[in-house]
Each structure stands twice: as structure tokens, then as C-alpha cells.
Chains A and B, each alone.
Chain A
Amino acid sequence: MTRVRGVLRLDDVPVAAQRVLVVPETGSPVVGATDTSTDGRFEVDVGRQSGPLMAVGRVSVDVLAVVHAQVRPDGRDTALVIRSDDLVSLSCSVVAPDVAHRQMSITIDPLHLSGVPDRFEPLLRRRDAGTVDAFFFRRGLDAPELTLRVQRGTYRFDASAFDRARPNIAAPDFENLVLSSVSTEDGHVAEPDGPFGGVRIDIDRPSSLTLELRVLPDAELLTP
């Protein structure tokens, strides 16, 4: 039985309640998964393993980043450290029509990240051996502005205020809202492929995005 121990930090600050996966160097299969404790520590049994192992830490709080390091073969702490210098600021503004709606939420999923090998990309939303998280980062919005620090890379953006039950409600008192477009500060506008398609944006420097929502008619929900 191999026990993997370590700590996840942002610079010198421990990061709590974040997912850590343990995989062979090839990136699969997942042999261990756990969440960091309040002091940023993680500890997980990975069974009997041969060959080097890698620990991959996912951070999806006000910082979006993925870090990896080789597990120390001597059983001592493996350090997963995110450097602030590797992050850039990302501001998102969500603009919605003035209609009654459910709570808005935003999702941000990294697709490619600077410093993360291709073989680890399938781990970006992996929860454990048999489960993936639907999204890397999803947050309900109490305010239309959200500012994060993120690792450089390509991200998928989506936002909505959506209740799929709406068409089956006899007298709904709200509208469904979905992403209409994402515009960057330099004027580039991207539109999603369909109401739930999301938009891919490269973030390689400090960025400000405006996510515009539109009302989704019920009829658009109904695939044949």
C-alpha cells in the first residue's frame, strides 16, 4: 500500500478544499483522489503501485490553476505550489436582459493550460476514477462582476440563468437566459454554437470579458 502525502499552496498560503489526483506519469488511470484539508494538506492511499506517480492539484476558487509534481518516493510531503507570477487577472462582466430570471451562474472550464502537459488535460475536470465534474469552475453570481486570477491558457466560458423545467410550468414567472456572446476588451466578439455551446477564449494576459445573455424561448429547448 502506497500512501501519498503532501500540501497544496498558492505561494506560501495553503489552499483548502481543492481536488488532488494521483496518477502514473502517463496520466491515467487515476489511482487516488482526495480533497485538501483546511491546512492545504492531502493524504491518500493509492494501493500497490509500481513506477513513478504524479500528483495533480486543481484550484478553482478565486484562482483557477492546475499544478502537478512528481510524488516523492520516500513517502515524504509532495509540494504542489502555484506561483502568483504565473497567473493573470481575469474580469468578467455579465450583462442580462431586464427580465425576471433565476440566479445567474458562470462557468469557466480550462481546455489547455500553460505548463500542463497534454496527457494531463483529461484530468482537468476529473473527480476520481469513475467520475468527472461537470465544470471546472461554476459560481452563482450575486453581482454582475467577477474577478479572478487564472493560469494562462484556453478557457471555455458560459453563463446562464436557467431552469430546464420552465416549459413544463403552467404559468412561469421567469425567463430562461443563456449566453449570447462574449466580447473582449479589444472588441473581439465570439458567439456560442447553440444556446449551451459556450465560447472559447485564449487568456494569455490580463483580460476583461463581457458576457451578454439573451432570453431563451422555450421552443429553442426542444430538440426533435
Chain B
Amino acid sequence: MEHGRARSDRGHPSVPTRGVNRSAPVPTVVDRFVSMQRRAGNVAVAESMLATGDFLGPLVQRAPVTVQRVALSGDDISALAERMHRAMDRWGTDEEAIFVSLQELDKDAAAIAKLKAAYRTAHAADLESAIRSEMSGTELALALELLGVSGSAVKAAPASDADYKAAARTLHGAMDRLGTDEEAVYSALIPMGRDQMRTAKLSSTYDTEYSGGLTGRGLAADIADEMSSDEAAYALYLLHAPAPRAPTAEVVPGSPGTEEHAGTIPGGKVSVRSGADFTLPSGAAYPGGFTVGYEGALAPDTGWIQFLWSEVVATQADGSSAFVSQGGIPTTKGTMSLTTDPSSPIRTIDSASADDPFYESAGVDIRTPTSTVIYDRPSEFGSIVSAQFDGGATKVVERDHFDQFLVQDYNTVYHTTVVVEWAYTSKTSSTRTTKGGGPGKVSGMPAHFKSVLISLYPKFAYVQ
């Protein structure tokens, strides 16, 4: 189910870009709040929204808004420089990390100059020279093109059917040969700007022109079939990843609550809070929720995927405890089941979008150019709890187990957890506790989470 959100520029002809003002004008209120957020922070934004009534205005009405890719900040540039250094300061260069970093610059001369300067300052080395020493052949050519040195393989965004056919031809030619030309694939996909209208049209054109392509199952299947895992991840990220997310504010924060966990990743920090109060667009006050936030570099390309499993334990009249079994509980993405064996949790993804697993795609959050904070205040399974008491139970405990993964571009970089527990002593009397924490930094999404992601959102198999 699509909830009518329109944060991306789907349906709009302009490409979301950094540094180059190719976006259509955005509502003035967005500019104002973004500017205010930078100057005075989220609280000031929220207070202003309440005072002006803009809170219930364009932002929450989900009017189609072209994505605003603001110019890269100094922190963004520093993070990219650090990411590029890590990609090269290791055994075996991570070429895709270099490409995904350089593509952020959108070939903008000013941004490139800033990156070179930041790299020199941080690592006392020349970025172009470092790249030349680490890469060769078509890899080097693409990197140098993205760095504005030379080359013309990366075209402008497609503007005609002929452009799409040309891109499809490049893709097919790059894969229909002995040894896939990965850089040609990237070169054809980068100009799409992760605009899902464009990538859908490109996929459709490819299917039509080449009868389903090499596998007969379309462009994505050809990429997955022809490229190795890291290369396919980057290519499929270019094909399927959501566009950079625009600033939005769907709740009015009240008390920020207690910080349960804090951590850092290169260029940013993570915070988990319990006891957070906030007000929804409907005006309903939400006491005692939790927030999971990221603040730092590259925030528009950073988001949270939240997994969930739930258990309900009912104490029976004879004092014994039993797990409560129930399947078919409706969710946006089908149904979920209660877990009756905590050693084998039955997980689902807590997204209200049928086609995007990121919580921010349809759940309430506040996003600025430098942060994304998701807000959640789960409701208990009231009908299940109540039925247990009517059936003779003397106590019922429900626990919702949340795992949040921070995904930056196509890399999973951090893992946090929140457990919310309700302990009922009668149908109407309960206590609720929330505890947050986190394993911390990760270098990928664990397999048992990834399998759930792929089963529910196959297009997001690119997430590493």
C-alpha cells in the first residue's frame, strides 16, 4: 500500500542533484525550515511549525515535492574524503566505494575542488594521484571522469526515448560479452539519478529492446546474474535505491526522553532514546515513544530499516506460562505472526510502505539535510491481550523487539535495538518499559535479517 507520500521526485523531470541547481523550486516552507534547522536545530523547527501552523501544511500533506539536493556540506565532503581513503587504504581497492563517493559530486567543479582539498588536508596526499595509483583501465577512466578530469561515458540525464534506448544498448553491450564491463554498466545507470521514474523506464526499455535481456527476466536479473556481489550491489543500488530523501517533519517533538544508546560512525553519530514525547499530525499526543536518530554527513542518502518481532506470554490460571500463537496479523506488507520460540524469532520489517523498507518512507520522522530521526510508539496487541484474560489468564506480557539498521547508500553501517514490554495484570492495567541499546557499528546486515529484507522487498537485495 502506498500512503501517498511524495518525498522523491517521482513524476518530475528534474534530477535530484547535489551542488548543481537542477531541481525545480521547492515550497518556501521547506527552505525556511531547512535554514532554521541549520541555524537553530530541530526544536526551533518544531516550535515554529506549531506557532505558524505550517506543521499541518505542505510538509505533511505530501504534496509532490521535488527532492531538494542541497550542496554538499563540509561534513559531507570530509566524510567522502574519509570514505575514499578507506577504500584505497586496504588490500584490494574498493572501487565501488570510490564510485559511489565520486558520483555524489555530480561532476560539479566546486564540489570536486573541495573534496580534493579535504583529502589533501586529511591525508597529505593528492586524491587524483591516489586514484591513479590504485586503479587502472576502465575503472580508472570512470573514476577520473567522475572526478572531472576527462571522459564522457557518463551522459546527462536521459531526455528522450532515444536516450533510454542508448542507455539500454550500453547496458546490454556491457553484459553480453565475455567478461562484463562493469564500469559501462555504472556509466549507464549513474545518469538516472536514482529517479525511479527514470529507472523504471530504463528497465522497461531494456526489456522491450532485448526481449527480457540475457536472462529473459529483465535488467535487474541480468545485473545480478552477470556481476559479482559487490559490483551487483552498487549497480542495483543505482537501479533500485530510493532517491535522496528531502527534509520533512511529521511530528512535533516534545520531551526528547532519555538517551539509551549513543555511538558513532565516520562522519556521524547515532542516538537511541526512550521516553520521547511527540505529537502526530492528527494532533494526537504520543507519550513515551522511542526515537532512533542519525546526525551527520550524507544524511539524505542515509536511512533506517527497522525489523520487528513480537512475543506474548500469558500466565495461565494454574500458574504455568504459555506463548500465545497467532498468525495472519495484518500489516502493510501482508501479515505477521507472533513468535512462540524466541530462539527463532519471526521477523517482519516495520515499514508502512509496500515498496520501500526504510522506516522513513512512510513512518513518522523528522529529516533535515544533516539528520534523520525516526519516531515510534508501538501499540500493544490489545485484542490478543484482552482475549487471554477472558480465557482465564492472570498475567500477560507482550514484548516487541525492534532492530534498526542504519543504511548509508548501499552499506549497512550501524545496528541498534529497542525492546518495548507491556506487563498486564488485568485487561486494563499495565506497565510499559522501553529499553534501547545496540550492538553498534557493523560492516553489513546479518544474514538472518537480510533474508527477511529480500523476501519482503526483493528490490532491496542490494543492501549489504
Contact = CB atoms under 8 A, between A and B. Distances in A.
A131 B325 contact: yes
Contacts, number: 156
B324 A134 contact: yes
Contact of A165 (B280, B323, B332, B383): B332
Given A132-B325, A171-B3, A196-B382, A163 B332 contact: yes
B382 A195 contact: yes
B427 interface: yes
B382 A131 contact: no
B359 to A, nearest CB: 9
A168 B388 CA distance: 26
Contacts of A173: 1, 3-4
B322 A131 contact: yes
B352 interface: yes
A104 B391 CA distance: 22
A163 to B, nearest CB: 6
A109 B325 contact: no
B46 to A, nearest CB: 15
A125 B326 CA distance: 11
A171 B326 contact: no
Interface stretch (A54-62, A75-83, A215-223): A215-223
A135 B316 CA distance: 15
A169 B316 contact: no
Interface stretch (B64-72, B107-115, B136-144, B371-379): B371-379
A4 to B, nearest CB: 21
Q: Which size class do B's interface residues fall under? A: 35 or more
Contact of A109 (B284, B332, B364, B390): B390
Interface in B325-354: 325-326, 328, 330-332, 338, 340, 350, 352
Contact of A223 (B5, B350, B432): B432
B62 interface: yes
A172 B284 CA distance: 14
Interface stretch (B90-98, B209-217, B224-232, B285-293): B285-293
B362 A133 contact: no
B60 interface: yes
B430 A194 contact: no
B317 A140 contact: no
B250 interface: yes
B427 A219 contact: no
A109 B391 contact: yes
A197 B287 contact: no
Interface string B56-79: 000011100000000000000000
Interface in A158-195: 158, 160, 162-165, 167-173, 193-195
Given A121-B392, A165-B352, A168-B375, A222 B314 contact: no
Interface string B368-411: 00000001111111111111101110000000000000000000
A222 B287 contact: yes
A198 interface: yes
Contact of B388 (A29, A132, A167): A132
Nearest to A178: B383
B392 to A, nearest CB: 6
Contacts of A125: 391
B284 A169 contact: no
B129 interface: no
Contacts of A198: 383, 386-387, 390
**Secondary structure dominating the interface of A:** loop
Contacts of B365: 170
A113 B338 CA distance: 27
A184 to B, nearest CB: 19
Nearest to A160: B383
A41 B3 CA distance: 47
Nearest to B386: A196
B377 A167 contact: yes
A162 to B, nearest CB: 7
A5 to B, nearest CB: 25
A131 B341 CA distance: 10
Contacts of B317: 122
A162 B331 CA distance: 9
A102 interface: yes
A165 B350 contact: yes
Nearest to A133: B325
29 contacts: A107-B387, A122-B316, A130-B323, A131-B324, A132-B316, A132-B388, A134-B384, A160-B383, A163-B330, A164-B378, A170-B3, A170-B62, A170-B250, A170-B352, A171-B5, A171-B61, A171-B281, A194-B382, A194-B428, A196-B382, A196-B383, A196-B385, A221-B379, A221-B382, A222-B285, A222-B377, A222-B379, A223-B432, A224-B288
Interface of B: 1, 3-5, 60-62, 250, 280-282, 284-288, 312, 314, 316-318, 320, 322-326, 328, 330-332, 338, 340, 350, 352, 362-365, 375-388, 390-392, 427-428, 430, 432
Interface of A: 28-29, 102-103, 107, 109, 111, 121-122, 124-127, 130-135, 138, 140, 156, 158, 160, 162-165, 167-173, 193-198, 200, 217-219, 221-224
Given A170-B60, A195-B382, 15 more contacts: A121-B392, A122-B316, A131-B324, A131-B325, A132-B325, A133-B325, A134-B338, A134-B388, A135-B384, A135-B387, A164-B379, A167-B379, A198-B386, A217-B284, A223-B432
